[in-house]
Structure 1
Amino acid sequence: MFLSKNKKTKALLIGLSLAVSASFVVAGCGNKQQQAQTQGAQVKAMQVIQQDTPLTSEFAGQIIGKDEVKVQSKVSGNVVEKYVKGGQWVEAGQPLYRIDDRQYKSAVWQAQANFAQSQATLSNAQNDLGRYEQLVASNAISRQTYDNQLSTVNAYQAAADAAHAQLIKAQQDLADTTIYAPMSGQLAVDDVAVGTFATAGTTALVTIGSSNPVYAKFNVSETDYITYMNAIMQGGNQVKPIVNITLTDGTEYPLEGEIVEQDRALSDSTGTLTFKALFDNPNGMLMPGMFARVRLSGQTIPNAILVPQRAVQQLLGKSFVMVVNGDGKSEARPVTLGNKVGSYYIIKDGLTTADVVVVEGLSNLQEGVPLNVTMVTADDMGFSLITDTSKFDSNKVAGSSTK
């Protein structure tokens, strides 16, 4: 009986001890939470920037040749000689191929014979007309006989003219059995082999194209076009854009280009507007078929308000940033976004240069929370007005664009 009473006492002491310990744990957690609330949420923030900002628009494009021709024969026949090979540089007027000319030589000989015969017949008829002219003057023959002979001469003259035209045509066909380069340029490797039957106006013997200069062709969506034109008008500076291209490995081509062609309307199928920028290519670095990122610049928006892109949050189609208000607490501020420029957004409405925006620590940050702010600069965070020129995926070239 005494032993049982001791056991109950011991159990009671253990329970009290655990309860006290638990109360200290709960109190400790509460103190930590209270201390965290007192210190505020740890964030990094920076002052809103205002400065003249160059506008840059980027579009995915492709290099194409300025001039490109598929060389075809004007006459049909087997290719019997080939004077060039694929990839070779040729000059305008340089012979490329020769078509079997035997039938065309025969055609020339036949046309020459026909023409000679028609000339002889015409000559006889003209001699007779001369005699008839003297006879009709002396009333030795009727006027009707003379008129009939004159008609015969005119018919023979027409036949001779037709025979002469056939001779010229046969001579031209014979000359066309040799195919010459229509322009200076580099041949593609799609050249046909000797023995190929070439059909006049159909068979492409080889493709020839110029390599300097070349076009960078790119498409601009309707939205991008309107945005860029609005930015130009906002800047009040109607200057021609500067055009640069970046290749797929991130290399920036050293020469600037110029927009020389613009389509008259948006494409019905893609809803985009096609542009062509002309680039000098003295070293042949740019090859038709290469993908490139086309950058348009040269327009400046004066006194633009800038915030880093990472500071902007979007919800239900609305954009907002967290600012540090006068009480040191977070405040959600709705903003109207403009163009992207490098690491920044241009802010059309919602901020002033007096505002401080949160750029780091936004995860789960709610409005009205006390903040423990560390002020940073653009250099500290690696922000820049220059767009990243790292490698891009050429497979995404169609229809893609950024600002």
Structure 2
Amino acid sequence: MANKQAKKLYLLTGTDEAQISSAAERLVEELLGPNPDPFVCDIIQEGDTGANHETLRTLVRSIMSPPFMGEHKTVWLKHSSAFASEGDAKANDPLAVALRELSALIQAGLPDYLTLILDGPNCDGRKALYKACSAQGEVRVFARPDLSRPRGHDEMTAILQQAAQLKGVQLPPPVCEYLLDVLGGDSAAIDSELEKIICYIGGTDKEVTLADVQQVCVGRGEEQSWAVAEALGQRDLQKSLAVADSLVSQSKNPDQTARSLIMSAAGFFRQSLRILVFIHENRLATPTALKLYLEALPAEKKSKNRREITGMHPYRVMKLAEQAERYSPHEMIQAIRILRDALWQTVSSSTAAAVALENALLQIIGWQQCRR
């Protein structure tokens, strides 16, 4: 049964759908236990067609219907996608009208026998439903971390550590940092990555090491970086634009993905510059000579950091060196500046990140190809 001290209304919303859903499920378990009795908990969820006004009509009917057994019941609108369709006060779309009716019902006060839980993304804080829930109950907002901003890293770290704690897993700082790189801001992937780690190490009571995690967790960010580097390394404008468009269009967060690709592209040129400097400092004539040099390095001179040239696989460094030869040092420096300006444009203006990325690629490769 529900705790009599609990609030009667909860709205869980924001921009991070994964966090919202997870928090709602924990809340229901906290209030009703792991397996809620269907006689005291009415779960209302959208069908395959997604948000529609009939689902909200069903919700309203359930709210107004006294409990079948006992003196109290909980109604849960589970993982709704309807909130973004609220519109303005004059919107006459059936879904918008149904949302306004729900807002009015909540604002008027819920029956004493009821606890209402609503969860779903994008409930606008300026509109009636959010305001009604805030006035009559508790609103919990979950924002998707934006890793392009200074606080984004700390926010994602907190989300990851909380999820690990709930599963009974301790993540040492190096493991946490590696997982943040793997996740690339995608909180929806946290649960599956933690489950993979737990299965691999043999339980939550085992120590989690960086080596273990590197064996089973490969990040989307790393895959994206590889795809971008390959296209840029070939100095192929058409392929670079196609790769960028494919990755952005398939993303749940296109703006964040586009910004990540801008940073990956800048990383490619920075790494290429470092390789050229390394070749010059060690008086190596060709990429093949670089590969042989790295293979012959004594173990004590090899870095444990996979981002350092001496810590990377010699063949991978050779391929990067071959790609780097397609650009002059001046062109690389200019490319880094263009990408820096593109990233700044995404946070200081209304320009879409995907547009800024495309323009940067056109400037870096298109302009150079026109000169040739």
TM-score using structure 2 length: 0.24
Larger radius of gyration: 1
Q: Which structure shows the bigger proportion of residues in strand conformation? A: 1
TM-score using structure 1 length: 0.23
Q: Which structure shows the bigger proportion of residues in helix conformation? A: 2
